[in-house]
Structure 1
């Protein structure tokens, strides 16, 4: 049955029929030569599966490296800090006193000359 499926190039059906489960006899019998297409198909299929696994592993490795590189290149998020005053406290106090004096002089009361 496997030979017929392989002859029709129906590899999916051959796999479902147990292609990869067939093992050669331990002795010197004619099945070894008669089943040569089965052994060949098993080798090709195993090589293809191994190639696919290497490809998937490579893709995963490349995705991981890309993510690591992007993480290194990403700007470091700023730590939240309390807003800093634009002036040091002593300068802010001097400015506030100056503004208070200026507001007092420009009021509605006229300034008397002495």
Structure 2
């Protein structure tokens, strides 16, 4: 079967294993007025969930490859991902394989919800 034609459920299967599955998305996304220490605390809480997640790497690759501009994904914050995209980090995973990661094969997933 052509990789571009595989069933959508298979395409998103990695999310079924996510530690954040079923959690309140407010853990991962900032309210518009959140700043400073409050934001750092919430991000640290989200990153703690991600630290033990079995799909942390595919989640991060998904967020980076799709230029996800909001929330904590795969343990990375918006700022972390922006720095990766700009090439400011030595651990940039641009060369990491994206096989099996939603969005890596041209499927439009821009309206998908991951957390929650």
TM-score by length of 1: 0.23
Whichever of the two has the greater Rg, that structure is 1
TM-score by length of 2: 0.23
Q: Which has the higher helix share?
A: 1
